[in-house]
Amino acid sequence: MRPSRGRRAVTRVRAAQALRESRWAPRRRRRTRPKGEAPRSATHPGRRPGSPAPGPPATTGSGHRTARSGARHRPSTSPHHTKIGPVGKGRDGHQVRRYDWLREIRRLDPERDFLRIYRIIATHEFPWDLTRALELALYRTYAVPSIGRLLAETAELTDRTQKRYDDTALLLDAVVEHGFDSTEGRTAIRRINQMHHGYDISNEDMRYVLCTFVVVPKRWLDAYGWRRLTAHEQQAVAAYYRTLGRHMGIAGIPQTYQDFERCLDAYEAAHFGWDEGGRRVSDATLDLMAGWYGPLAPVVRGASMALLDDALLAAFRYEPPAPAVRKTVRGALKLRARAVRLLPPRRTPHYARQNPEIKGYPNGFRLAALGTFPAARPTGTCPVPHGEEPAAPE
């Protein structure tokens, strides 16, 4: 009598299981006992008399057996372990894997733990990428004539470009490192507010600059990062910059990443345009960044131009780079991303103050002395109340 279809299926499953077990079972070699050697235990053939009974096989945090178990390493079929990436060693000697920080981020609440999430993103996952993306974010704002013209009039980004770059990076970095409620964070935000309050800057321009900090890094990572930001991370980034915007007294702050993106795109479509002062600030910034690389400055400047989109090139009236140059530069950044993906995760944070591009303070700095000290306008004060005044610059 022919077996039923169900019984045939069960037989095939059992045969496949037996085949897998035979493949992964440890192979045993026959061994002859030399003369005078004590026999194996009758109750535990795998050990000698008097030795402790075998315990459970040692496992790693991912559930894989280690060499102590005597079994071959069998790859996990868990979706969380199929694309682990490179493995390194932490300070405590445990294995650390490429996506460990992402797993940590997923355990955090993006609305409550946004500072912790953003700090991991900026100092562990993408320190180099976030630096480049925030440079590009600030650079985009020069294409708004009201912003570019004001920056040219102050001469901070044309005559003292390195100092302005250093001060901006260090003030923003202090909030990331120490938090909004720390003494350092409050001092940094107070300095930012005092500098901005010395000039007639519209709320719309301030809000647009805030939007660039949210949107441009995400777009950079989409194109050149070793991985993209998850929706969980985007929510935390939006919460971080909403908080920064409130401390800066900005009104009408977007709530979600999508709101920030719509605000940025609409503002650029309406306001990007030519201004002679904005072009001077753009040239000075490109010269500064290219100058960091010495004799390679012309190459670096050309590479920087290849990363600008058509709207920026048109606003500053730059000649578009050759398609081959654009393809080469962007391809090189994507190749870098593939290489970074193969590296183990960063175990110690890297803050902006540690970047080699910060050159103006080899002997250290005081947050209260960073930036400019313009004469305050007679109407109003700093939009965020504080109990103490910053120390005068040394």
What confidence tier does 91 reach under pLDDT thresholds 50, 70, 90? low
Please tell me whether residue 342 adopts helix, strand or coil conformation. coil
Give residue limits of the domains in the chain: 114-369
Residue 192: phi and psi, rounded to 5, are -60, -45
Query: How much is the pLDDT for 9?
Result: 62
Structure-model confidence comparison of residues 71 and 117, the more confident one: 117
Contact 393, 371 (CB under 8 A): no
Q: Six-digit token pair at 41?
A: 């235990």
Q: How far apart are CA 186 and CA 177, in angstroms?
A: 12
Radius of gyration of the chain (CA): 29
Query: How much is the pLDDT for 14?
Result: 66
- Tell me the pTM: 0.74
Q: Six-digit token pair at 63?
A: 């559930």
Question: pLDDT tens digits, residue range 333-390?
Answer: 999 999 999 999 999 999 999 999 999 999 999 999 999 988 755 444 444 444 444 4
| Mean pLDDT of the 3-8 span | 62
Query: How much is the pLDDT for 96?
Result: 75
Percent of the chain, pLDDT > 70? 71
